Amino acid sequence: MMGDAIMAGDVYERVMDLARRRGFVWPTSEAYGAVAGFIDYGPLGAMMKRRIEDAWRGFYVVREGFYEIECPTIGQEAIYLASGHVKGFTDKMFQCPHCNEYLRADHVVEGGGRCANAAVLDEEALCRELEDLACPACDGRIGEVQVFGFSLMFQTSIGPGSQRTGYLRPETAQGIFTDFARLLRFYRDKLPFGATQIGKSYRNEISPRQGMIRLREFTQAEAEIFVHPAKKEHPNFARYSGYRMPLLGHPAQQAGTPAVEMSMAEAVASGTVANEYVAYYLALTHEFLTQVGVAPDRLRFRQHLPDERAHYACDCWDAECLSGRFGWVETVGIADRTDYDLRAHAAHSGQAFTVFIQYPEPIRRSETRVVPRMGALGPRFRGGAKQVADAIAATDPATASAPAGFTIEVDGKPIEITPDLYDVREIEVEVQGEEVMPHVIEPSYGIDRILYAVLEHSFDEEAVEGETRTVLRLSPAVAPIQVAVFPLMSRDGMDEVAMAITDELKAAGLMAEYDDSGAIGRRYRRQDEIGTPLAITVDYDTLDDGTVTLRDRDSMRQVRLSTASLAETCRALCRGRLRFDGLE
């Protein structure tokens, strides 16, 4: 755990200094002047990011069985017109009258302590709140300003001549929604089913000033789970029904009371969480985040307030990680989005976004139908009689009940249908099933924010032999390098043995690094600082008896082990099947 001295201060600068020095992350295109909102992942950061993504796949793809797809990061305009992003995906901003910096209005108001949830305020209310606040960029009094909407979408052109407008996707979800029909066939036309996607998304943030927390290009890992709207009992809910965790529901937030620890079964039964699906993915998210290295005592699940929750969602929760500088930061959103997305795409595309649910037994019922009189249609419409008959049969009986008849359209041409061409009557039909538009449960993870939270929560400094030891206490599951191998000296064959051990560890599926640069103590400190869990030292005893020193990063304890069992022991330690104190 991080010491009190670290917690009391702002650890952000120390974490980011380490990240830049050791190759986790650094500003992009520094040679030309870095641009806010963009970062490069260095060798260690890229490796750690992939490990977090693979851990996520272990939960959602391997265990849950939701296959992964990959869609383009550029989408045609029609997608985002249907989803509402073109019209409504905006943030409220203003321009400082002193330094001319553009700033996000709700963030400035929240930072000034005037309102805890300023995002729900309208433009006029934000103007009033801003008037007496200081500009974060120049510290001048803001005064009277105009607050206006700014689109977060990056617009581009598809093809020459700007004939088609496209957008860089602001989320990975829309690709899954537009692929619904094909995914439904892939999953054999049965509910529930889900699909996942990990990839880049883009948002043209107004003034990103929070490093890895607010990026213009970022990685999302999203699952879209399609469920029957009337059957929101998760088939595997027993896995998490007894899982206990603190939940900060909206009544507790409004009353100013702390989060309440409860099981997922209790959360659903009490109405704190809307249904078993949402509760299931709350617990899964808690398990995932703590497994990759988010500190449980610096993690909370906060329910959206009624005026904060999207109008189409029936429940929404954020997993928030506590940062020394930024406070509680949203890293994951878990929402029941109802059928909003599929209904929007169905309306705009004209395609069916439904699932046919067959009844266990057919049912018979009476229905009012418009029945064409084929004997009258044939002589009048000849070869086009069937098209006309089909259009008549598809007409709403209420429309067909008009005394003068009604009008249909066939091949773009209007046709007057008089009452002598059809009957409106009650008929008994056998119904095999029904078309259902699924609801969508969406867990959406911000991989970059999770990575930063893991770096900050694992960062520690401690006094060792009169010096400060900096260490990242990373889980072996996400540590970029799992085992470091040192020859005590690069002579007398020790370097050759160390290289052979390194190759053996790599063959066993471990990320191992050979390091012979500098004094052995300095090498230990270097690996501690990048979070390497295990270190192996080859010395003269190795040449005599075939044993090496295995060192644990966190406790700094050491044991002697035979090289014959080394690879399997390291694998067991890194996979959590064996504890280091068990070796002693």
| Torsion angle of the four alpha carbons 489, 493, 495, 500, in this order, in degrees rounded to the nearest 10 | -150
Structure tokens at 72: 């383009």
Share above pLDDT 70 across residues of the chain, in percent, rounded to a whole number: 98
Collect all residues with Cβ–Cβ distance below 8 Å to 153 and sequence separation of at least 6. 80, 85, 86, 89, 167, 168, 170, 203, 204
* DSSP conformational letter for 231: -
- Amino acid identity at 325: R
Domains and their CATH numbers in the chain: 4-73+169-342+439-450 (3.30.930.10), 91-143 (no CATH), 365-428 (3.30.720.200), 481-583 (3.40.50.800)
What pLDDT does residue 208 have? 87
| Torsion angle of the four alpha carbons 204, 208, 211, 214, in this order, in degrees rounded to the nearest 10 | -50
Q: Which of 100-114, 315-329, 438-452 has the lowest mean pLDDT?
A: 100-114
The pLDDT tens digits of the residues spanning 64-82 come to 999 999 999 999 999 999 9
The pLDDT tens digits of the residues spanning 232-262 come to 999 999 999 999 999 999 999 999 999 999 9
Average pLDDT over residues 406-425: 94
Share above pLDDT 90 across residues of the chain, in percent, rounded to a whole number: 88
- CA angle, 236 then 574 then 445, to 5°: 45
What pLDDT does residue 8 have? 41
Average pLDDT over residues 284-306: 97
What pLDDT does residue 162 have? 66
Q: Which of 72-81, 119-128, 366-375 has the lowest mean pLDDT?
A: 119-128
The pLDDT tens digits of the residues spanning 541-575 come to 999 999 999 999 999 999 999 999 999 999 999 99
Whether 44 contacts 22, CB under 8 Å: yes
Average pLDDT over residues 74-93: 93
Question: Closest Cα partner for 530 from 548, 553, 555?
Answer: 553
The pLDDT tens digits of the residues spanning 387-415 come to 999 999 999 999 999 999 999 999 889 99
Confidence category of residue 4, pLDDT binned at 50, 70, 90: very low
Average pLDDT over residues 135-160: 92
Question: Closest Cα partner for 108 from 96, 122, 124, 90?
Answer: 96
E strands, 182-216, are 193-202
Structure tokens at 61: 């793809």
139 three-class SS: coil
Number of H helices, E strands in the chain: 22, 27
- Alpha carbons within 13 A on the beta-carbon side of 516: 15
The pLDDT tens digits of the residues spanning 202-212 come to 999 988 878 89
Asked if pLDDT for residue 9 goes beyond 60, the answer is: no
What pLDDT does residue 155 have? 94
pTM > 0.85: yes or no:
yes
Asked if pLDDT for residue 173 goes beyond 60, the answer is: yes
* DSSP conformational letter for 10: -
Average pLDDT over residues 449-474: 95
Highest mean pLDDT pick, 142-156, 275-289, 409-423? 275-289
Average pLDDT over residues 438-455: 98
Asked if pLDDT for residue 40 goes beyond 70, the answer is: yes
The pLDDT tens digits of the residues spanning 472-528 come to 999 999 999 999 999 999 999 999 999 999 999 999 999 999 999 999 999 999 999
Question: Closest Cα partner for 479 from 530, 420, 438?
Answer: 530
Residue 192: cis peptide before it, omega within 30 degrees of 0? yes
What's the whole-number average pLDDT of the chain? 94
What pLDDT does residue 7 have? 47
Given its phi and psi angles, is residue 33 left (phi above 0), alpha (psi -120 to 50 degrees) or beta? Answer: left
Q: SS3 breakdown of the chain: % helix, strand, coil, rounded to 5?
A: 40, 30, 35
Asked if pLDDT for residue 63 goes beyond 60, the answer is: yes
The pLDDT tens digits of the residues spanning 102-116 come to 999 998 998 877 777
336 three-class SS: strand
Beta carbons within 10 angstroms of residue 4's beta carbon: 8
576 three-class SS: coil
